Amino acid sequence: MIDLSKTTVQRTDAEWRAQLTPLQFRVARQQGTEPPFQNAFWDHHEDGVYFSVCSDTPLFDAKDKFESGTGWPSFTKPIEPAFVGEHRDTSYGMLRVEVHCAVDGAHLGHVFPDGPRAQGGLRYCINSASLRFMPRKEFEGWVARRKTGANVGSS
């Protein structure tokens, strides 16, 4: 995989607002949540990779996506664990584990211990508004360009 260990993307709120739609900004930058069953990727089945909407960071592979019945895209694991950070979320009187993009800080959603047991038992419940999709062939070209030294982490 591409090494993003030293890559960070930081922008002001004004810069994020200029780059993102209002929904993307509310979800990714203000820890919002989009409605279930009314988002771009909950029922999306194309082969490829889901990136952070805030940077050039691949987060989840479509091969790890599964139907959770929750109305949000759900994955069994991130494409690379180092790309997805976690922290304790006690908002709304609940104890959950919030997940975010480790490169750009975008709020992604939450991880729960109720995923498919055969794949590790985790369910990464992710907001579509925090993601952008890249078809597999395009992703393969993206990887090839990065291997030749092209810049990563920014968009």
The neighbour count for residue 14, using CB atoms within 10 Å, is 8
- Name the helix (H) or strand (E) containing 29: none
Q: What 3-state class would DSSP assign to 78?
A: coil
Q: Which residue is it, tokens 């780059």?
A: 19
Strand pairing partners for 131?
52
Catalytic residues: 125
Token pair of 68 as six digits? 């959770």
